[in-house]
Structure 1
Amino acid sequence: MAYTLGIDIGTYETKGVLVDGSGTVHAQAIRGHQMLVPQPGWAEHRPEEDWWGDFVYVCRALLEQSGIDPKDIKAVACSAIGPCMLPVDSDGAPLMNGVLYGVDGRAETEVRELTDRIGEDTIIARCGNALTSQSVGPKILWLKRNRPKIYAATAHILTSTSFLVQRLTGEVVIDHYTAANFSPLYDVETRDWVDDLADDIVPLDKLPRLLWSNEIAGHITATAADATGLAVGTPVTAGTIDAAAEALSVGVDQMGDMMMMYGSTIFIILRAQVRVADPRIWYAPWLFEGEHASMAGSATSGTLTHWFRDQVARDLDPAEAFPALADEASASPPGANGLLMLPYFSGERTPIHDIHAKGAMFGLNLTHTRGDMYRALIEGIAHGTRHVTDTFADLGQSPTRLLAVGGGTKNALWLQATSDITGIDQIVCEKTVGASYGDAFLAALAVGIADRKDIASWNPINREIRANRNDAYDNAHDLFRRLYEQTRDIARELG
């Protein structure tokens, strides 16, 4: 039997699956790691330990658990958090920690300067995206200015997935979907690297070779085989960012399909008919040539539930805290007895792109309970999500169907609040494994084991969450939006 292997590096954990040609999962493995916050506004991972170390551990766990002969694994695909920025030397060794995606706002000055110099309209027209904390180009310029010795020693700028593929195959590649986040260095029309907008960031020969996600990047080397247990010569795809693999895992393939990923952050991907250029959302070529995707993402969502558990529910057993908190929140009515939560604990990404935004819980009085506060937190995340879906609607990109995926789909309160506040029904598929399952499917596509339409049988629909829209939530959403606007300047002055 033919098998494929998929491994995904997330913000706080790495997951892997080994599946056969029909999509049946034969083994799963997981390993946790930490996001480093060396100073406020920064976010990092350790490439050797958190990316490659986790990949090796999970890969060997999958092989041991399944007992499958590595030679029967016909392809490997990986995904990871992104877009990240990692300088490596000529041997592919990391020169510093990996700088993470939009939750890292260290390049605020460079974002502002490049935008002023090039012009936002030009950047959006050429690169598809306004410069934000999500953009890799400004972070490379930050590296050049603030870590000149590291910049001078840099042979290539990689992202998290590129680093894994390089370790597995020796090839320095990046998929187009990820590369579109390297603004202002990637032209979305020519699908190529460019330096005419900013020739002072990095020489283009230091950027990876561009491929589509279903293309084979290379094959497992002898060194990688020794480390992972995989067979020498096994094909490895170019891979992609975790959210794109997650979307693929639940069947986002037709025009109008939207994925909502409930993870450490909320991430949304819409399979779009055309490219929409708007500074509030992101654009990228989809995983396959000639196709389009519109995206959006929060800075904190699932992360907030962990923060609340660790800071406000220390009396509860951590292993049982979330169900207990959900029970407490269920006793609070929709609207959390008048509490509003701004979920901007790490600034915010789409649609406001404000790294200075702050978290807040507004409306507290002496009658409020922990259940009210936890419900307000869940509803605050959902209001942030509605801000995004309303933005898509403003752009004529409302979804024809919405597929939910990720660990948060186990949280019934969160799912229902999101549907009720956004007014959008959600579909949950049988398998919520997530990005690693999408990686395994991508690997199967790359070597002809599966066709794109096969994902419907690999991962059929399990249930639907119906939206129960009400006036109270509409009023609360208006207040939510106004609360941010009226506290924005105070948040900035707080630093």
Structure 2
Amino acid sequence: MAYTLGIDIGTFESKGVLVDGEGKIVATAARPHEMLVPQPGWAEHRADEDWWGDFVFITRELLGASNVSSNDIKAIATSAIGPCMLPVDPDGQPLMNGVLYGVDTRSEREIAELTNQIGENRIMKVCGNALTSQSVGPKILWLQRNRPEIWAQTARILTSTSYLTFKLTGEYVIDHYTAANFSPIYDVNQLNWTDELTAEIAGPNMLPRLMWSTEIAGHVTPEAAVETGLAVGTPVTCGTIDAAAEAVSVGTQAAGDMMMMYGSTIFIIQVTDSPVRDPRLWYAPWLFPGSHASMAGLATSGTLTHWFRDHFAKELTRENAFPILAKEAAASAPGSNGLLFLPYFSGERTPIHDPKAKGTFFGLDLTHTRGDLYRAVLEGIANGTAHVVETYRDVGHPPVRVLAVGGGTKNEIWLQATSDIAQVPQVVCEKTIGASFGDAFLAACAVGMARPKDIDRWNPIDRLVQPQKHAVYERQYLLFKDLYQSTRHIASALGRA
């Protein structure tokens, strides 16, 4: 038998799957970890414990549960949250915690200065993206300015997937899709690192070697084999960001296909036949040469459901909290009895790109229940998602097919509210495990065990969520956008206090 291994490191949990040559999941494993928030606006992971530690634990769990010989694993692919910023020393040892993707807004000053210094139009022309909290370049500049003692020891800047691949193979690599988030030091036209816009951040010698996601980056080293139980010499792909692997897992491949990932954040990827350049969205080369992707993402989504559970349902156990909260929310009518919720608990990414935005419950009175508040949280995330879908329509790329994936697809109120407010049908496939399954499929493609179109056979469609019309949603969506615009100055002033 031949198998492939896929492991994904998420914001709050890592997951792994062992899959046979027909796409059947033989074993699964998962391990939770925390997102560290040392201060408001910061978000971090521990590279050794949360990234590599999870990988080792999950690999050994999968091998033990499946009784599959490590020699029968023909390829490994990884994905992880991204883009992250991790400085390492000449031996590849982390020098600090990994700084996370757009949920970490510490480089606000550097974003503004670089944008002013280089010019937004020039950045868009070379990088395909405006500088935002999602951009790694400003975070590297933040490191130089604020942690000079760490910068003096830094040999390379890695991201989360790059670090995993290094630990497995000893190779420093990054895929083009991930690298496009390193603005302003990646040229999307030349598909290469660049110092054309600024030499202030980091030279190419400090950055990983560029590859495509399904290229073989290297092979499992003897040291990694001892730690993980994998066979020495097993091929390891370059890997990619978790959201890209998640999109692959449900068949996002034709132009107009849009993946909507319901995870700790809502993340959206739409495959396009040409580059989409708009400062409200993100652009990257897709995982395969000659293809393109347009991305968007909220800063906090599933994170908010965890926050709500932990602070407003303390009497409930972790096992029954979400089912009970869902039942209470179902008893609240669409519109949450007149409540509006802004989900900007870590600022917001697309389409407003406002690191100073704040979360808000608006319209509270003494009749509101916990169920109303929880439903308002879900509808607030759905409103934010609809704002993104509206942006795609504005730029002339409305979704042709929306494929929903991730743990949030089990939350029927959240899923239906998103379809209703954004007015899009959503396809849900049989397997919603997400990025780790996409990784296993990409690993199979890398060694010739599968072709990209085989994903429709590996993961067929299970159901379709059709949008319904609710006048209250149409009204509240407009009020949702107005509430943000009307309170921007208050949110900004609070941030300066």
Give the TM-score of the pair, scaled to structure 1: 0.99
- In structure 1, how many angstroms separate the alpha carbons of the residues matched to 2:34 and 2:489? 32
SS at match of 2:129: coil
The runs of 5 or more residues in structure 1 that have no matched partner are: none
Q: Which amino acid aligns with 1:80?
A: A
| Secondary structure class of the residue paired with 1:290 | coil
Separation (CA, whole Å) in 1 of partners of 2:163 and 2:88 = 9
Aligned equivalents of 1:478, 1:160: Cα separation in 2: 38
**C-alpha separation between the residues in 2 aligned to 1:315 and 1:416?**
28
Match of 2:298 in 1: 298
How do 1:259-338 residues align onto structure 2 when only pairs under 5 Å count?
259-338=259-338
In the aligned structure 2, how far is the partner of 1:113 from the partner of 1:73? 48
Report the Cα offset of residue 316 of structure 1. Answer: 2.0
- Tell me the distance in 1 between the aligned counterparts of 2:303 and 2:140: 27
SS of residue paired to 2:167: helix
Q: Given residue 281 of structure 2, which amino acid in structure 1 is its aligned partner?
A: I
**How much has 1:324 moved relative to structure 2?**
0.9
Shift in Å, 1:196 = 1.4
CA distance in 2, matches of 1:354, 1:186: 23
**Offset at residue 79 of structure 1 (A):** 0.2
**Shift of the alpha carbon at 1:2?**
0.8
Q: Deviations over 1:297-333 (max 9, x none)?
A: 0011101111111111122222111111111111111
Taking the aligned partners of 2:157 and 2:315, their CA distance within structure 1 comes to 45
Aligned partners of 2:397, 2:306: CA distance in 1, in Å? 32
What corresponds to 2:221 in structure 1? 221
User: Whole-Å Cα distance in 2 between the matches of residues 470 and 51 of structure 1?
Assistant: 43
Please name the residue that 1:138 is paired with.
138
SS at match of 2:443: helix
Q: Which amino acid aligns with 2:337?
A: N
- The separation in 2 between residues aligned to 1:327 and 1:40, in whole angstroms, is 32
- Structure 2 residue identity aligned to 1:453: K
Q: Which residue identity does 2:87 align to in structure 1? A: P
Specify the SS of the correspondent of 1:93. Answer: coil
Secondary structure in structure 2 of the residue aligned to 1:16: strand
Separation (CA, whole Å) in 2 of partners of 1:198 and 1:416: 45
- Which residue in the other structure is 1:157 paired with? 157
Which residue number in structure 2 is paired with residue 230 of structure 1?
230
Residues 79-158 of structure 1 mapped to structure 2, 5 A cutoff:
79-158=79-158
Q: Deviations over 1:378-418 (max 9, x none)?
A: 10000000000000000111111100000001101110111
In the TM superposition, residue 107 of structure 1 has moved relative to its aligned partner by: 0.6
Which secondary structure does the structure 1 equivalent of 2:341 belong to?
strand
Return 5+ residue gaps in structure 2 as ranges. Answer: none
Paired AA for residue 30 in structure 1: A
Which secondary structure state, in structure 2, belongs to the residue aligned with residue 74 of structure 1?
A: strand
Partner of 1:359: 359
SS in 2 for 1:6: strand
Offset from partner CA, 1:200-257 (integer Å, 9 cap, x none) = 1112110000000010000000000001000000000000000000000000011111
- Runs of at least 4 residues of structure 1 off by over 4 A? none
SS of equivalent to 2:7: strand
Per the alignment, in what secondary structure is the counterpart of residue 196 of structure 1? coil
Q: In the alignment, residue 41 of structure 1 is paired with which amino acid? A: G
Q: Which residue of 1 aligns with 2:26?
A: 26
Task: Give the TM-score normalised by the residue count of structure 2.
Answer: 0.99
Matches of 2:47 and 2:307 in 1, distance apart? 25
Q: Which amino acid aligns with 2:133?
A: S
CA offsets 1:78-100 (integer angstroms, 9 cap, x no match): 00000000000111000100000
Match status 1:188 vs 2:178: no
Show the counterpart of 2:10. 10
Of 109-118 and 322-331, the range deviating more from structure 2: 322-331
Match of 1:424 in 2: 424
